Amino acid sequence: MRYIFSWRRGWFWHRQEVTGHRYEAQQDKMVLFLKDGGVQEIKHWMDCECRLGSDWFLETKKAMEKTTGTPISVNAN
């Protein structure tokens, strides 16, 4: 699963290709899992804005279909 994770704090947007992400609420940080096996942490996550595109949606849908073993329909208007 690879997708682009975009975020900003203030004016500038940042982009990172990742294989996953997780929010750590107690430490208020977002953990990004990088495609080379590394990890990047974004501190003070409550001050940030995030964008996840259709690539994330399609990868998530594919993973859900694999888990359930059935196709998942999307009702996009």
pLDDT of 76 > 80? The answer is no
This prediction has a pTM of 0.80
9-61 pLDDT, tens digit per residue, is 999 999 999 999 999 999 999 999 999 999 999 999 999 999 999 899 888 88
What single letter denotes the amino acid at residue 62?
K
Which phi and psi angles does 49 have, rounded to 5°?
-120, 145
Residue spans of the domains in the chain: they are 3-67
Return the CATH fold of 3-67: SH3 type barrels. (2.30.30)
